[in-house]
Amino acid sequence: MAQLHETEHRECDVLVVGAGGAGLRAAIEAMRRGLRTCVVTKSLLGKAHTVMAEGGIAAAMGNVHPEDSWQVHFRDTMRGGKMLNNYRMAELHAKESPDRVEELEAWGALFDRTEDGRILQRDFGGHRFARLAHVGDRTGLEMIRTLQQKAVSMGVDVAMECKVLRLLTDADGAISGCVAYHRPSGGFLTFSAPAVVLATGGVGKSWKYTSNSWESTGDGHALALWAGGELIDMEAVQFHPTGMVWPLSVRGLLVTESVRGDGGVLRNADGERFMFKYVAEMFRAETAETEEEGDRWYDDHAAGRRPPELLPRDEVARAINAEVKAGRGSPHGGVFLDIASRRSAEYIKRRLPSMYHQFMELAGVDITRTPMEIGPTCHYIMGGVRVDADTAATCVPGLFAAGEVAGGMHGSNRLGGNSLSDLLVFGRRAGTGAADYVSGGRGVAPLDGTAVDAAVEEAIAPFSRDAGESPYEVQHDLQDLMQTNVGIIRTGTELTDALTALDALAARVANLSVRGGRAYNPGWNLATDLPSMLTVSRCTTLGAINRTESRGGHTREDYPSPDAELGKVNFVHSQPSGGGYREEIKTVPEPILEMPGELHSLFEDPT
Amino acid sequence: MSDQVTLRVWRGDSTGGAFEDYRLERVEGEVVLDVVHRLQASQAPDLACRWNCKAGKCGSCSAEINGRPSLMCMTRMDKVGGDVVTVAPMRTFPIIRDLVTDVSFNYEVAKRVPAFNPPARPEGGYRMQQVDIERGQEFRKCIECFLCQDVCHVIRDHDELKQRYAGPRFFIRLAELEMHPLDTNDRRRLAKERMGIGLCNITKCCTEVCPEHIKITDNAIIPLKERVVGASYDPVAWLGRVVRRRKVRTSDEASVQPAP
């Protein structure tokens, strides 16, 4: 069909949506293969959410603990994810992340060093050995700048400040391109590309207290679902245990896990190190029983077992939540994270410079003298687009996904440090997967003009409604709803109520009005983000209703224990009768990928 | 301080504009970006403003607050003081709309910087000492907010020099590469001839506004200028090169990107 709305048109072989770690790494790989590659990003280049990552990149390089190996990293990752992970992704990730870190170094990253000049690695929650390659507490910045500079040196083509509205498919359901708009001008664009790599990151902006930026609206999750893809494990949302709680305006802002990795401890209002009370059976054998034992471990991992502050994030977040609920919280509704009484001011400033700066400037708190007030914050979604581990291919021909938008790698809970390595390992694999697909003879095909027009018309509709609602109000209510009903602790009735409320919110999204023109209009931009936010929120709620157990980042008050049978399935969401934020979502359980025997044997040793 | 605050925000586009006043209630602990967000959600839904992390890590929300180039997300309202706070876009770059400017100049310059070029990886990996990389690490703290570019008077007042002047952000990039223990390129001539390091007259405005407190002038620009002088004018250095049969790379020779 002929297209009625005029758009600027571009063509390439591989279109990468998102310019964070995964997107840039995918683009680099596609360019290395000599393919015409274009990166589309909602922000400026180098500003993606990867920049916020603080602690480090997990990779079993063994620079600090030579006994570390991919097998141990694999085992930690699977246990952290409560065995819901796609084992093959966890395996590839553990095997390949050391190479990906060294590659970054060859591209100019300046990691902190060991005494003998190698890449230094630090301790983190859930990792048996010190494994995180890092640069102080600004590892994400180092990673994104390195990838950005590498991609620019290769002549990458980046469409900055562009938002993708819809993926386009041909008559056979294979990817043909996408419709987008350019935020500075408000002009529409179409891209023809046989392969699209989704690398759009997370969904946190649908919650009220989040460490995520405005960009994390689940665009890639929604684009994939609408185009015929499947989402899995959407109920698995990670609430990072340590976000700032005061001042209110920065509530949710991340406080790196490195504070605990470098010696910080959690205390309640009574000054008690409460984490010792919350050690789950699964982790008891490897966790210290007394404060003295935990403290010995920092200096010598053989002299004691790890302190419980370094349990996986889901365990710590639930414990903090329980302490606050029991009335032992800090003045602003969190608990205390104390490194001031445990490490010298000089050490804290050297190891945690951005945390020092962040608390000093935003809260007026000197963390070298005073404990921080912290509480859980919506941080990461483990669930995402269902992909093939080796190629990052989705079930839609030509569509690939990598990084936070992809599901499976982290199971029901992600270990700190595993996201940056995930971006590198699967970003590269998505680039290779897309390049192989294109090299297999897929070329640029004409776009479906009707679908382009429909996407454009849906996007501009809010301008022609006079009496509709402000997108900010709908976003505010969505965030309130998700925080209250689909937050860190969930119950069946609240989730069912949320589903009804989400339908009502979707009806309000269909009746938004926007003031002003299309050029750099944040109100309009938000109106175009809300359909994705609604879509992923519905999937998260549906997954949470179906998963009648507690596992990793998903905690049901009415089903407080894990259920062995549910541990064998993923809940898979799809839209068989047409993609859209108001269309029906089908949710079915499907068996998880079965782990081969030789990997199973890694879990037999109880320590 | 009263319980109300006036935010005086520049509104307009490339064809012109003016400051507009908005009255809002004062909320404890807020930064300027919070107030801008509250404005968007209430009185001015189409107020254009760039931001991402709201934690001083991405460098998106650069603006001139009461005339001082700053990040909106790291500027506390109670530190700015007074009941009227003025927020204007960065003055050096062309206006797109309201507080958003066209910073593409910086991305164009970035393309002209020859990237890090190490020797082949030795068996067992590269080795570097912490002390040797700390200088580079200081420069890599840069969040590319471009406030240094905004206050640099060479960029601000000399449109005609833009083709051959890179600005402080890229001087720290060049310094980082030149001081990298493993880099094999030599960008000294290029820094002089194509990046205009000589045009900087070290007024230190860039250092003063850097939200990452990078000592741009003292630690990057001045040492880089010294290296450039050594490569171009120093007779002793010249003799040393003759004796050791070393050559300074020309700008063209230095303008190579590493293998993909």
Chosen from A361, A514, A515 to mutate, greatest number of chain B CBs within 10 A? A361
Say what percent of chain A tops pLDDT 70.
99
What is the nearest CA distance from B76 to chain A, expressed in angstroms? 7
Q: What is the DSSP string of A355-392?
A: HHHHHHHHH---TTTSPEEEEEEEEEE--EE---TTT-
Strand ranges in A172-263 using DSSP code E only, listed in sequence order: 175-182, 188-192, 195-198, 231-232, 237-244
Catalytic residue of the set A260, A305, A306, A414: A260
Q: CB distance from A43 to chain B under 8 Å?
A: yes
Is B53 within 8 Å of chain A by CB?
A: yes
**What is residue B238's predicted lDDT score, i.e. its pLDDT?**
86
Residue type, B225: K
Calculate Rg over the CA atoms of chain B.
Answer: 22
CB atoms within 10 A of CB A439: 13
A444 and chain B in contact, CB less than 8 A: no
- Whether residue A530 is predicted with pLDDT greater than 80 in this model: the reply is yes
Amino acid at residue number A203: V
Greater confidence (A241 vs A466) lies with A241
Distance from CA of A138 to the nearest CA of B (A): 8
Q: B-chain residues within 8 Å CB-CB of A428? A: none
- CATH 1.10.1060.10 domain extents, chain B: 104-254
Q: Is A434 helix (H, G, I), strand (E, B) or coil?
A: helix
Maximum Cα–Cα distance for chain B, whole Å? 73
- Which parts of chain B register pLDDT below 70? 1
Residues 398-417 on A with a CB inside 8 Å of B are none
Distance CA A318, CA A489 (A): 8
Mean pLDDT score of chain A: 96
Nearest CA of chain B to the CA of A338: how many Å? 21
The answer, yes or no, to whether the previous bond of A247 is cis (omega within 30 of 0) is yes
Helix (H) or strand (E) holding B131: helix B130-139
pLDDT of A542 strictly over 70: yes
Residue A275 has pLDDT above 80, yes or no: yes
* pLDDT for position A60: 98
CATH T-level topology, domain B4-101? Ubiquitin-like (UB roll) (3.10.20)
| Contact predicate B216/B184, CB 8 Å | no
Q: How far apart are CA A113 and CA A118, in angstroms?
A: 5
d(CA A285, CA B155): 62
pLDDT of residue A400: 98
Give me Rg for the CA atoms of chain A: 23
**What CATH fold (topology level) applies to the domain B104-254?**
Fumarate Reductase Iron-sulfur Protein; Chain B, domain 2 (1.10.1060)
Say if residue A607's pLDDT is above 70: no
> What percent of chain A clears pLDDT 90, i.e. is strictly above it?
93
* Record: contact B52-A514, CB cut-off 8 A: no
Number of Cβ within 10 Å of residue B94's Cβ equals 12
Q: Which of A135-149, A247-261, A579-593, B9-23 has the lowest mean pLDDT?
A: A247-261
> Which of B50, B55, B125 shows the shortest C-beta gap to A358?
B55
Closest residue in A to B109 (Cα–Cα)? A152
pLDDT tens column, A361-414: 888 899 999 999 999 999 999 999 999 999 999 999 999 999 999 999 999 999
Residue B39: closest CA among chain A residues belongs to which residue?
A472
Nearest to A472 among B28, B45, B111 (CB): B45
Residue type, B212: E
- List, as ranges, residues 172-191 from B with C-beta within 8 Å of A: 177, 180
Residues 301-360 of A with CB under 8 A from B: 354, 357-358
Best to test chain B binding among A115, A153, A250, A530 (most B CBs inside 10 Å): A153
CB-CB under 8 Å, A476 with B97: no
Catalytic option among A100, A240, A313, A318: A240
CA distance, residue B242 to nearest chain A CA (Å):
31
Q: What CA–CA distance (Å, rounded) separates A369 from B231?
A: 48
Q: Is A260 a catalytic residue?
A: yes
- Asked if A527 contacts A514 with a C-beta cutoff of 8 angstroms, the reply is yes
Say whether pLDDT at A354 is over 90. Answer: no
| A523 CA: distance to closest CA in chain B (Å) | 5
C-alpha of B223 from chain center: 18
Token output for A185 = 């001008």
B256 CB near a chain A CB, below 8 Å? no
Closest partner residue to A51 (CB to CB) among B57, B107, B133 is B57
Of A47, A214, A362, the CB nearest to B31: A362
The closest alpha carbon to A509, from A534, A483, A543, A488, belongs to A534
On chain B, the residues whose CB falls within 8 A of the CB of A472 are 40-42, 45
Position A605 pLDDT exceeds 70: no
> Do residue B48 and residue A246 have CB atoms under 8 angstroms apart?
no
- Name which of A96, A98, A90, A93 is nearest A121 in CA terms: A98
CA separation for the pair A583, A168 (Å, rounded): 17
pLDDT band at A320 (very low <50, low <70, confident <90, very high): very high
Q: Is B50 on the interface with A (CB under 8 A)?
A: yes
Q: Determine how β-strand B68-71 pairs with β-strand B62-65.
A: antiparallel
User: What is the reported pLDDT for B1?
Assistant: 58
**B105 contact residues in A (CB cutoff 8 A):** none
pLDDT surpasses 70 at A603 = yes
Specify the pTM: 0.96
What Cα–Cα distance (Å) separates residue A295 from each residue in A131, A304, A343? 19, 8, 12
Say how far apart CA A282 and CA A567 lie, in whole Å: 15
Contact A153 B258 (CB under 8 A): yes
Show the CA angle centred on residue A257, arms to residues A252 and B35, nearest 5°. Answer: 25
Asked if residue A100 lies in contact with residue A28, where contact means CB atoms within 8 angstroms, the answer is: no
Token pair of A125 as six digits: 């929650």
Nearest Cβ partner for A118 among B49, B113, B127: B127
- Residue A180 and residue A17 in contact, taking contact as beta carbons nearer than 8 Å: no
Helix axes A418-439, A87-106, angle to 10 degrees: 90
Q: Where in chain B is the domain with CATH 3.10.20.30?
A: 4-101
Q: pLDDT tens across A81-123, in order?
A: 999 999 999 999 999 999 999 999 999 999 999 999 999 999 9
List beta partners, residue B68. Answer: B65
**pLDDT tens digits along A415-442:** 999 999 999 999 999 999 999 999 998 8
Q: Where are the alpha helices (DSSP H) in A522-596?
A: 522-546
DSSP A77-126: HHHHTTT-S-HHHHHHHHHHHHHHHHHHHHTT----B-TTSSB-EE--TT
ipTM of the complex: 0.96
The CA distance from A62 to the nearest CA of chain B, in Å, is: 12
Cα A193 versus chain centre, distance: 26
CA dist., res. A309 & res. A313, Å (int): 9
> Does the beta carbon of B244 lie under 8 angstroms from any beta carbon of chain A?
no
What's the gap in Å between the CA of B238 and the closest CA on chain A? 30
User: Whose CA is closest to B197, among B235, B232, B166?
Assistant: B166
B27 φ/ψ angles, rounded to the nearest 5 degrees: -120, 135
Spell out the residues 6+ positions from residue A395 whose beta carbon is closer than 8 angstroms to its own.
A228, A229, A230, A386
Task: Name the residue type at position B94.
Answer: P
Asked if A141 lies within 8 A of B116 by C-beta distance, the reply is no
Q: Which two tokens stand for residue A463?
A: 């301008």
- Picking from A81, A60, A49, the residue whose alpha carbon sits closest to that of residue A408 is A81
A240 is catalytic: yes
Partner B contacted by A492 (CB < 8 A)? no
Residues of A in contact with B115 (CB under 8 A): 107-108, 149-150, 152-153
Contact with chain A for residue B56, Cβ under 8 A: yes
The domains found in chain A, sorted by start residue, are: 242-376 (3.90.700.10), 452-568 (1.20.58.100)
Query: Is the CB of A369 inside 8 Å of chain B's CB atoms?
Result: no
Residue B242 burial (CB count, 10 A): 10
* CB within 8 Å: B60 and A43: yes
C-beta of residue A258 within 8 angstroms of C-beta of residue A54 = yes
Among residues 532-571 of chain A, which lie with CB inside 8 Å of chain B?
A: none
Give which of A169, A25, A212, A217 is closest to A109, Cα–Cα. Answer: A25
CA separation for the pair A138, A354 (Å, rounded) = 7
Q: At residue A179, what are phi and psi to the nearest 5 degrees?
A: -110, 135
How many CA within 13 A on the CB side of residue A13? 24
Residue A606 has pLDDT above 60, yes or no: no
Tokens of A9: 């048109």
Sheet holding A121-122, edge to edge: A57-58, A132-133, A121-122
Q: Is A166 helix (H, G, I), strand (E, B) or coil?
A: strand
Mark yes or no for CB contact B96/A470 under 8 Å. Answer: no
Structure tokens at A76: 């930690």
What pLDDT, in 10s, does the model give residues B70-120?
A: 999 999 998 897 889 999 999 999 999 999 999 999 999 999 999 999 999
A102, B125 contact by CB (below 8 A): yes
Would the pLDDT of A570 be above 90?
yes
| Residue B237 Cα distances to A226, A424, B243, angstroms | 65, 43, 10
Of B100, B118, B142, the CB nearest to A106: B118
Kind of pairing, strands A231-232 and A384-385?
Answer: antiparallel
Q: In terms of CA atoms, which chain B residue is nearest residue A522? A: B46
Question: Closest Cα partner for A435 from A35, A18, A156?
Answer: A35
